[in-house]
Structure 1
């Protein structure tokens, strides 16, 4: 098989049962006779090796040079698209966008005139990862641990608010004279309506609690509809005559500054954002996945150098009632082994980063650490980077906050439909950005692991916010942050029918990291 591109080399290695280090692929592609170099590198590898290393390739190339062996390049195999042809899927239509966050939806058969091909000389910048809980968990579940994590949440989120109001601690406000102007920063401890239809919001800081009354006729009263328990806000207002309550004049959220200027790459390079692959389910869409990975090998995808997977690589076992009736693979390790085989279809020069989700074999409580060594070994394809949920991944200078998204269920359940819905999951993501926390509400279906540090706080504003979980496609920009929920690769299950979930399956959002524009590709 003539080999003139890294994608063809990776395909040929996969046919032999190997994956390879990126440098190994580059060395083979640059050899005088790539076909011969590949075969001899495979022969040189250890019998039980799973991956061809750069050392394997150098060994055979050095032997060639030492013997001064003549080499002849293989004839070039011509191809109209530089890769495997994909079947024509149904033509898709453009989905409404917000704030210029996307260009359009394309089917894989549609071309853009970009030309080019997968460049063997390119070298993606190293991926940096921050906020990874893996190996850092110290929580024991004792009461003191919960106190620590909420105190840390308060201190870090209040730092975004203290410069905007002249705040006082709760205990100091309790000693102030009636009629005084004051302000407080605190976590929402309680929300209830009065008999007159006003809102009573109780805030808590490290010194105590204080009640704040939002009158229903104030122009900002609708902000109460956006409040979730345990989130951090600031209020300004005036104390009642008896100093027992504050009449609120304004409400502030930690929020993303409207002046936020996102980072962009200094060259044209793209990242594919996907989630919820669910290998092991009878409804896993293998054909759509094959269309996607085939497209990644074409010249049209030459700029796609990163694949970011936001959790639920496999279907898991025992995640929901009667799930076993919908499983194609009933052993969790076999599910990951099958996922690894599908991952081998991705070009070897694509950098892969993955976080776990609620269907994966890690603890359900967030933050979730990355996979254990057994599963990491199974999924050790193309040197994939595995990190915790959530994590901030920096690619080409662009900060991508990756979070699987279990908290989106509670945000959508608690807030008005116009603020958050399954049809527009990115709007629920806007709320998390506004609150600067990926899972602000504690005590519902979301499990929280108490740690010394609250890993779910959004300290630094990301350039891209990538989630999954809800199996719906949605994207838009919030204060210049691109929010993307990337859909799934699983058609509707019986369980999803029972809870009225109609998934958006077989889509791959492709982000231009140099502009943060986005194209959604449809492969189903």
Structure 2
């Protein structure tokens, strides 16, 4: 195959199972006979080597040069002047088309650009890949810390469920007690009628009265108490945002007989409006993607190749991190008749193929992955990370693997990664103007407001009891990254950047049957020093 660009050299190395230092790729691509230099390098590289280094290449190239093997070749070696010469084709990949501003008004409009075409074999036709290569990242400047990979201890006993809900209540009530003069339910029951009262409780029931008012039952560790929200109050609209099992605070006045609380104010745990996100100390970017779905007949392999080719270009110099929010593969038996839509029917082979695609990513990029509902982990959340068998398969780039959800601190920026299954439930339960598939960032705003990624128990989202509730947002993230719904959406909620990153799978027959029209092959790129966003389209 021709090896006229660093991109194609890197892809050829990946096909042989090697990652490579960027300098090694550049040396091979700039050789007078790239294909021959690559072949000789692969013949001489030690058997136990996983990463092809520049020293491996230099040894071969220098030996060839000393032996005079290339002296009679008519192709001149590249010179410094050649390197400074303008390219024969415009290497720009940007269309400069600005995306529409998020309707919430809280985010700057992201710049949407077109992806670069891919060249090479295996159906990757076209020679539009830019010739200018990626500048290697400095690993000494890269910084990652991960919090969220759990070891499951839940047994499913009743006591486990009691413990996890108590933990949720304690964590979220701490965030609310500064706003109201909380009294436990038994203390409120003993107060005289017409007294002012306030409490923090978990929503145990929501129902409307015959007069159209809202009766909300709140539960704390001592009992339950009925709270009435009058339909003509401004806060009545907030009841439409409530989900069962979330924790809120209310204050108001007790009825004459003290048996019910007339609510004057309702509070969510919330993101403070004054929140200022952390940013990186240098000009560096992260690519946020999800829902790759390798193994599906509808996996967009060509779009993936265009994406990974672009990562090898100068336009992606600053992209040093790749965060994948679940559903690496299509899985097996996830929905009815899925086997009819599979390209790869064995789950382990799906992960092996995914690992091969992951090798196309530049070797200097740090990769972080969490599982999703199509992955081979338990469906109940929180989801522990992949087991050792799957980790052994997905060894490309020494990717960091954590549970779902996880908070990943990248160069000082806290990114809450959550696959997003609960978004289905939020969208189903709340009015369209509050949450919809067409604007997936809006249900994400609701989760931020509730400070919990999956508040409602017993609905569509499977939840598992653990020693503590790992689904609570105890700290405020700087970026909230989800997937699952296969729709692209982004915006800012109280200065938190919310991104749902779409997918890499075209519409399946099953998706068509449930009216899912996916947003395919978009790659949101976040500048970690400013939290500005640009969207690349590789479809």
Instruction: Give the structure-2-normalised TM-score.
Output: 0.86
1:490 corresponds to: 505
1:52 corresponds to: 51
Gaps of 5+ in 1: none
Once residues 137 and 217 of structure 2 are traced to their aligned partners in structure 1, the CA distance between those partners, rounded to angstroms, is 59
Once residues 370 and 44 of structure 1 are traced to their aligned partners in structure 2, the CA distance between those partners, rounded to angstroms, is 37
1:105 alignment partner, one of 112, 120, 131: 112
1:466 alignment partner, one of 466, 478, 481: 481
SS at match of 2:264: strand
Once residues 4 and 304 of structure 1 are traced to their aligned partners in structure 2, the CA distance between those partners, rounded to angstroms, is 23
Q: Does 1:396 align with 2:401?
A: no
2:125 corresponds to: none
2:144 corresponds to: 127
Cα deviation for residue 119 of structure 1 reads 2.1
1:342 corresponds to: 357
1:255 alignment partner, one of 270, 284, 290: 270
Once residues 493 and 63 of structure 1 are traced to their aligned partners in structure 2, the CA distance between those partners, rounded to angstroms, is 48
SS at match of 2:295: coil
Write the mapping of 1:338-417 to structure 2, written as runs, cut at 5 A.
338-417=353-432
Write the mapping of 1:80-95 to structure 2, written as runs, cut at 5 A.
94-95=99-100
Q: Does 1:502 align with 2:517?
A: yes
2:336 alignment partner, one of 321, 324, 336: 321
Cα deviation for residue 145 of structure 1 reads 0.5
SS at match of 1:400: strand
Q: Does 1:149 align with 2:164?
A: yes
Q: Does 1:236 align with 2:251?
A: yes
1:18 corresponds to: 18
Once residues 305 and 355 of structure 2 are traced to their aligned partners in structure 1, the CA distance between those partners, rounded to angstroms, is 14
SS at match of 1:290: helix
SS at match of 1:497: helix
Q: In the alignment, is the contact (CA less than 8 A) between 1:256 and 1:479 conserved in 2?
A: yes
Distance 1:83 1:294, change over 3 A: farther
1:195 alignment partner, one of 203, 210, 216: 210
2:124 corresponds to: none
Once residues 479 and 348 of structure 1 are traced to their aligned partners in structure 2, the CA distance between those partners, rounded to angstroms, is 36
Instruction: Give the structure-1-normalised TM-score.
Output: 0.89
Q: In the alignment, is the contact (CA less than 8 A) between 2:100 and 2:109 conserved in 1?
A: no
Q: In the alignment, is the contact (CA less than 8 A) between 1:82 and 1:299 conserved in 2?
A: no
2:123 corresponds to: none
Q: Does 1:290 align with 2:305?
A: yes
Q: Does 1:512 align with 2:517?
A: no
Distance 1:64 1:484, change over 3 A: closer
Write the mapping of 1:193-232 to structure 2, written as runs, cut at 5 A.
193-232=208-247
Once residues 363 and 16 of structure 2 are traced to their aligned partners in structure 1, the CA distance between those partners, rounded to angstroms, is 14
Q: In the alignment, is the contact (CA less than 8 A) between 1:402 and 1:467 conserved in 2?
A: yes
Distance 1:462 1:7, change over 3 A: farther
Gaps of 5+ in 2: 71-75, 118-129
Cα deviation for residue 9 of structure 1 reads 6.2
Q: Deviations over 1:284-337 (max 9, x none)?
A: 111111111111111111111111100001000000001011111110011111
Cα deviation for residue 16 of structure 1 reads 2.9
Cα deviation for residue 30 of structure 1 reads 8.9
Once residues 189 and 305 of structure 1 are traced to their aligned partners in structure 2, the CA distance between those partners, rounded to angstroms, is 45
Cα deviation for residue 347 of structure 1 reads 1.0
